[in-house]
Each structure stands twice: as C-alpha cells, then as structure tokens.
Amino acid sequence: MASWWDHRTDTPHADTTTLICMPSAGNGDLQFDRWPDAVGPWCVVRTPTVGGPGGEAVGMNSAAPVPAGLPERAAELVTDLMRRGIERFALFGHESAALLGYQVAVELNRRGAPAPLRLFVSGCPAPHHLRRHAGEAHTEPTDDELTERVLATTVAMGGNPMPWVVATGVRALRAELATLRAYRIPRPTPLHCPLTAIRWRDQDIAPEALAGWSAYGDTELVQLHGSRLSYATEPADLLRVISDRATTDDRRRSAEG
C-alpha cells in the first residue's frame, strides 16, 4: 500500500498532538509552505498522483493505484494512520480535501478508532449541499479553463508554472471533479469530534452551504477575510483559529483521558 505521508515532513508521534493537513487538488506542493510552526507539530498527507516530468508518480514512493472515491481514499489513509499508532491529532482540509477529512473522521468512527480532536473544514460546502453548490447543470470546464486556474494558483503561491507542473495540476483537477460528481452520502453522519467550518468572505460559497455542516455534529462556524487561496497565501488568521481550538481540544482530551 502506498504511504500517504509527505516525505518532506516529520512523521507524527503517537504521544504528541498533530495537525494532519490534506492538500487541495490542483493546488500544488506549495500550499502549506507559508505555514509557520505556530500550530505546533503538523504534517501533510498527499494523495499520490501520476504526472511528473517523466510520467513518474509525484509525492509517493510506490506506483500503487490510488483509490478513486473519497471513502476509499479515507479508508487507506485511516489504515496508514492506525498502523503508525497515531491517536492524538486534528484534521484540516480545504475545498475537496475537507470532504476527505470528513470521510476520514467517518471511517475512524466506523472502525471504533480514536476520533480526531477536531475536524477543520475550509472553503467547502457541507456534503449534502455539494451538488447544489457545484450546480448539476454546469458544463464541464475545458482544459483551457482548468489551465488558467492552475496557472493563477501556482503564481499566487509563488511557484514556477513549468509546463509539467501545470499539466499535472490540470489532470488532478479533472480527476477531482469526477470524484466529486460521484460522491454521495445517503444522510449526514454525525461525527464523534467537534467541527470548525471556515468560510472565506471573497469565496463564492453561500453561508447556508457552510452552515449545513451543523448537521454533522458539534459545529462552529467561522468567517475569515480572504479568498479561496488565503488559507495558503495569507494563513495568519486561519492559523490563529486552528491554534486556539487545538490547544483547547488538547486540554479537554487530556482531562478526559
């Protein structure tokens, strides 16, 4: 099985609280580079994708195929998490990665494993609002439209939009769109952990679509100034929210344990 841990970051330890970040599809390897150590120990997991300059796998040490669906990805990630004995952690995901974070929390519940201290979802409508937000009647974006998005994102994050980087990003976005179209939940599954849902004011997501996360358990709604890329390019306000909640949750878990 492929390891989902970013080789650039330290492996979390069982006895420390770690923020596990799931990258958003098509946003490249730079999206967490401007995050300082303010949130304490943290690491990044990466969905393995194919498409390096020579067609090799990017961000992984194995050529094993990647599960296509979010529940299947979550199951593999939870297996890796449990194999490493990690029990004290919070989850963060932005856009579609927030849905992966939710599925990880659901899978942990299903296996009777320790719940995360908290799930942070950023810039993502609640799962049962997803199709309404995306618009079932919307046409499939063209490669040119996806290329423009990847180029803008790469430049905003300070990256070099080399052709193979852009091509990989376009393929990742195209695959993620297919995954989201296929994603269904029969009903909201309440989580065994608190949840913080973050809306960025300049991002085109209706407040009620974020408020829909309240159906999934103990939910806090937070609104921050910024756009869909501010989590990566101007993360200070977001990191304050994460740090404050993570500290409180860690104390609560320690008192309970």
Q: What's the rounded Cα separation, in Å, for the pair 132 and 181?
A: 11
Give CB contacts under 8 A, 24+ apart, made by 162-167.
164/51, 164/52, 164/53, 165/28, 167/51
Structure tokens given for 139: 């046409």
- Tally the C-alpha atoms within 13 A of residue 166's C-alpha that lie toward its C-beta: 15
The sign one gets for the Cα dihedral 169, 173, 175, 179 is positive
Task: Give 56-112 as a DSSP string.
Answer: -EES-S--PPPPSSHHHHHHHHHHHHHHTT--SEEEEEETHHHHHHHHHHHHHHHHT
For residue 220, the model assigns a pLDDT of: 97
For residue 132, the model assigns a pLDDT of: 63
Q: Let me know how many helices (H) and strands (E) the chain has, helices first.
A: 8, 8
60 close to 2: Cβ distance less than 8 angstroms: yes
For residue 11, the model assigns a pLDDT of: 56
For residue 41, the model assigns a pLDDT of: 61
For residue 22, the model assigns a pLDDT of: 84
* Residue count (the chain): 257
pLDDT per residue, tens digit, the chain (257 aa), is 344 555 445 555 555 678 888 888 777 667 888 887 655 666 777 554 433 333 333 333 333 445 568 999 899 889 888 888 877 889 999 998 999 999 999 999 999 999 999 999 999 999 988 866 554 445 678 889 999 989 888 888 888 888 888 898 898 888 888 888 888 888 899 999 999 999 999 988 888 989 999 999 999 999 999 998 999 999 999 999 998 998 888 888 778 76
Q: What's the rounded Cα separation, in Å, for the pair 232 and 246?
A: 19
DSSP SS3 for 46 = coil
Q: What is the DSSP letter of 113?
A: P
Q: What's the rounded Cα separation, in Å, for the pair 46 and 76?
A: 12
Q: What's the rounded Cα separation, in Å, for the pair 125 and 197?
A: 9
For residue 8, the model assigns a pLDDT of: 44
CB-based contacts of 193: which residues, under 8 Å, 6+ apart? 105, 115, 116, 117, 118, 119, 217, 218
Phi-psi region of 28 (alpha: psi -120 to 50; beta: other; left: phi over 0): left
Taking CA atoms, 176 is separated from 72, 124, 204, 221, in Å, by 14, 14, 19, 26
173 close to 62: Cβ distance less than 8 angstroms: no
For residue 50, the model assigns a pLDDT of: 35
